[in-house]
Every structure is written in structure tokens, then in C-alpha cells.
Amino acid sequence: TPQAHADRLAFLVRVFTRQTINSLMESEHVDSRGRKKRHRLLLMLDEFPKLGSLPFLENAMGEMAGYGITAHLICQSFNDVFSKYGDRTPLFDNMHITAAFATSEPTSIEKVVRRAGKALEMRESFSDPRTLFGRAHRSTSQSEQQRYILSEEDVRGLDDRKQFLFVNNCKPILADKIRYYEEPFFQDRTGDYFHGVPATVRQSRGKADLPGTASIDWKGVRPVKAAPAPHQAITPIEVPAQAAPPEAIDADEYLAPQSIDSLRPAEDDSLPGAA
């Protein structure tokens, strides 16, 4: 996605990601439509902090592996994640492998140094007591001291072809960074981007696994009680329109005093107060 459209399309990517996770995490062996799971899913989210906060992904990280889903989250620094999920997010706690590269951001350097852990080393200390008479004997003592395996300079000055790998149940690894466009296995597929050679697209000969008919969960379910009768529409009362004065009658004759007197009710002598 071009950077100019990243903010506009982030909502669609969030919706697509949530639908994918919800569909595949309903059962361990079949998806939401009853189809058997034949492959594992690698959820590759590059620059995923730009998608905004994904609470459903944060909550599902600890259980995704049991449903055949592996998430590969890529970010520029720890601060990018903390700005969306807070500094106490469990996202990093559920990651089996963490890769780190050279950085100059202080928070990221501190996190990498702490992830590498500490080691014990023997340190010797010497003391030369001073005396007024005679020759003093020099004393030597040894003690175990803890120190971080990596220093800040090690992380900041890491070679661009190297990377740190932190794997659970394994010691920290200083590994070589693999660039896919330099590997012979991928060169025939990637082409030469810098010289205008396009990549080669290969498609398998097998049939595509087209989605079936979507199931409706509430289809055939009876309501607990009968639905209320629909409201009857109120028929508006038709008010007859008053006839307009004929054009043949003159306005002065139409508003004559005798015409107005004919509209007044007749006086009833039986009414109280009548003359």
C-alpha cells in the first residue's frame, strides 16, 4: 500500500485481519464454513503499528498457534508499538522469536540489551597495604560479577549484515542477515529490480480452493416468543378543500354586508341573556 493511502486503507486491513482470525479460530481442524484446514497461515503484517490498535490480535496472540496461525509482526522500534498498545502490552511476551537490528533509539537499545541477559565473570582486585617499616605483601581477591552480555555500543554499532536473534529456550544468537535478492534460490523469481527486470510470477497447477456458500448462523432458529403485531399506519383524515370564490362574482359583491350577515347564526330566544 502506498504511504499516501495508508491511513485511508488501514480500516479495511483491520476488518480483513479480524475476519480472518475469527474465521480460523472457531475450530482447530476446520474453518468457520466446515472446510478442513490443510495449511498453516503466516500472518505477515509489515509496519503493523500503522494499522492502529488491534485488541483482538493482542488477545489472540497466545492461542493462535493452536489454530494453525503464526503472526510475523514487523515494526521500526519498540516505541511504535508502545504508542498504540502501551508499555505493558503482552504482544512481546507471546513471541517465540524476536529479531533485532542496529538502532540508535534509546528505548529500543535498552530492550535489546535486557533481552540478551546477563553473564557471570570473574574479576580480580589487588590491594597494596602501606606500612611504616618492612615490606608489605600484596593481596589478591577474586569475585563473581554480573554484567550484561551486550552493551549499548554493541547494539548501536551492529553491522548492517548482522542481526540479533532471541529464541525461547535458546541463548542469544548473532546471525547473518539474509537478503532474498542476493540468494540464488530467489534470484530467478525476484528478477533485477534495480535494472528494470520484472519478477517472475509462478502459479501452481492445482485447483484453487474457492470459498463455498456462506453459512448463516441464525437461519432456522425459532424466536423465544412471537413477534409483536406490526403497527397499523394511521390513515390521514381528508379535509375537504374550500371552494374558491367564483371569478364571475365581483369582490365587492362577494364581501357585501348582507353576505356576511347570512353567515352569522340565527339568534335563539331560549338562550339565557337573549333579548
pLDDT one-digit tens code per residue, 20-49: 898 888 888 887 778 888 888 999 998 889
Q: Is residue 48 part of a domain?
A: yes
Compare 129 and 234 and report the one with higher pLDDT.
129
CATH of the domain at 59: 3.40.50.300
**Model pTM score:** 0.61
Q: Is residue 165 part of a domain?
A: yes
DSSP assignment string, 158-202 = --TTEEEEEETTS--EEEEPPPGGGSHHHHHHH--GGGTPPPPP-
Q: Is residue 210 part of a domain?
A: no
Total count of domains within the chain: 1
Mean pLDDT of the chain: 78
* pLDDT above 60: residue 86: yes
* 84: containing domain: 3-108+158-194
Q: Is residue 24 part of a domain?
A: yes
Q: Is residue 174 part of a domain?
A: yes
Q: For the segment 196-251, what is each residue's pLDDT rounded down to a tens digit?
A: 666 665 555 554 455 555 566 666 777 777 777 766 655 666 656 555 555 555 55
Burial pattern 152-183, b for ≥16 Cβ within 10 A else e, equals eebbeebeeeebbebeeeeebeeeeeeeeeee
